[in-house]
Amino acid sequence: MQGTIATFDPRDHTGTLLLDDGTELTFGAEAFRASGLRLLRLGQRVAVTTSDDTTVTKVQLPGIS
């Protein structure tokens, strides 16, 4: 799934994103840490991996694993 970063707190590494279908998902610090990224910016396109209950488990840049 892909979406756009809507909010991101660089201190605690949590935020929200809007999927392409308009669904809003929140992600925790664990999902951000799994990405290996240092920072996200508002409006940035991301790909997300979710668990069966739609909990975000990884936030990453599209095309980069």
**Domains along the chain with CATH numbers:** 2-60 (2.40.50)
Cα distances (angstroms) measured from residue 47 to each of 25, 59, 63 = 12, 6, 8
The pTM (predicted TM-score) of the whole model is 0.88
Low-confidence ranges of the chain (pLDDT < 70): 64-65
Give the pLDDT of residue 65. 58
Give the pLDDT of residue 54. 84
Give the pLDDT of residue 63. 77
Neighbours of 31 (CB within 10 A): 22
State the SS3 of the chain.
CEEEEEEEECCCCEEEEEECCCCEEEECHHHHHCCCCCCCCCCCEEEEEECCCCCEEEEECCCCC
